[in-house]
Amino acid sequence: MSIKKYRQGALKMSITIAFRNIFRNLRRTMFCGAAVGIAVFFIVFYSSLIAGMLKSMHEVVQVFELGHVRVVSAQYEAESEYSPVQYPVAEGKSLAALMQRIKQIPGVQAVFPRIAAYATMQESTVKHAMLWGMNMHDETAAHNFNLIDKTDGLVAGRYPAQDSNECAIGVRFAEKTGLKIGDRIPLKTVSAQFSDKLWAPTITGIFRFDYAKADNETIITDFSRLQRLLVLDDSTQQLMVYADSPQKSTQIAAALEQLVGPDDLVTPWQEQYWIVLMNMYQPIYYLLYLIFLVVACLLIVNTITMIIHERIKEIGMMGSLGMTQGEIVRVFFFESVFLAMAGASAGVILGGLLTGIGQFFPLRWTALSGEFTELSVANAIFLDFSFVILFRSWFLGVLVTSLFTLLPSLKSAFVEPVEALRR
Give 91's pLDDT tier (boundaries 50, 70, 90). Answer: confident
**Shared-domain flag, residues 114 and 261:** yes
Q: Which residue has the higher pLDDT, 354 or 35?
A: 354
- The phi and psi torsions of 238 (rounded to 5 degrees) equal -140, 150
**Shared-domain flag, residues 220 and 297:** no
**Shared-domain flag, residues 337 and 204:** no
314 pLDDT higher than 90: no
**Shared-domain flag, residues 265 and 283:** no
Give the C-alpha separation, 22 to 75, whole Å. 68
pLDDT at 249: 92
Strands (E), 342-414: none
Min mean pLDDT across 24-33, 63-72, 187-196 is at 24-33
pLDDT at 308: 65
Domain end marker among 219, 235, 269:
269
Tell me the Cα Rg of the chain.
31
Q: Are residues 232 and 91 in contact, defined by beta-carbon separation less than 8 angstroms?
A: no
pLDDT at 28: 73
Across the range 89-101, mean pLDDT stands at 88
Give the C-alpha separation, 414 to 228, whole Å. 86
pLDDT at 415: 59
**Shared-domain flag, residues 54 and 84:** no
Give the C-alpha separation, 146 to 152, whole Å. 6
DSSP class of 201: P
Mean pLDDT (the chain, rounded): 83
CB atoms < 10 A from the CB of 305, how many?
A: 17
Across the range 69-95, mean pLDDT stands at 89
- The phi and psi torsions of 396 (rounded to 5 degrees) equal -65, -40
Give the C-alpha separation, 409 to 165, whole Å. 78
Give the C-alpha separation, 180 to 171, whole Å. 10
Alpha-carbon separation of residue 230 from 28, 161, 167, 192 (angstroms):
74, 18, 16, 6
Domain containing 166: what range? 67-269
CB atoms < 10 A from the CB of 74, how many?
A: 12
pLDDT tens-digit profile of 242-300? Answer: 998 888 999 999 999 888 878 899 999 998 888 888 888 878 877 877 777 777 677 66
pLDDT tens-digit profile of 113-129? Answer: 999 999 998 777 777 88
Domain end marker among 242, 269, 296:
269
Q: Are residues 390 and 49 in contact, defined by beta-carbon separation less than 8 angstroms?
A: no
Reference 136, options 221, 263, 249, 233; nearest CA is 221
Over pLDDT 90: what percentage of the chain?
37
**Shared-domain flag, residues 165 and 209:** yes
pLDDT at 1: 40
- Give, rounded to a whole angstrom, the gap between the first and last alpha carbons of the chain: 36
Over pLDDT 70: what percentage of the chain?
85
Q: Which residue has the higher pLDDT, 397 or 303?
A: 397
Question: How many structural domains comprise the chain?
Answer: 2
Domain end marker among 246, 269, 292:
269
**Shared-domain flag, residues 177 and 304:** no
pLDDT at 412: 58
Reference 269, options 260, 279, 259; nearest CA is 279
Which residue type is seen at 384?
A: D
**Shared-domain flag, residues 394 and 298:** yes
pLDDT at 22: 75
**Shared-domain flag, residues 171 and 140:** yes
**Shared-domain flag, residues 222 and 360:** no
**Shared-domain flag, residues 338 and 361:** yes
**Shared-domain flag, residues 50 and 134:** no
Q: Are residues 399 and 40 in contact, defined by beta-carbon separation less than 8 angstroms?
A: no
Which residue intervals of 231-324 are DSSP H helices? 249-260, 273-280, 282-310, 312-320
Across the range 232-241, mean pLDDT stands at 92
pLDDT at 418: 54
- The phi and psi torsions of 249 (rounded to 5 degrees) equal -60, -35
pLDDT at 400: 80
Across the range 149-156, mean pLDDT stands at 91
6 pLDDT higher than 50: no
Q: What is the pTM of this model?
A: 0.79
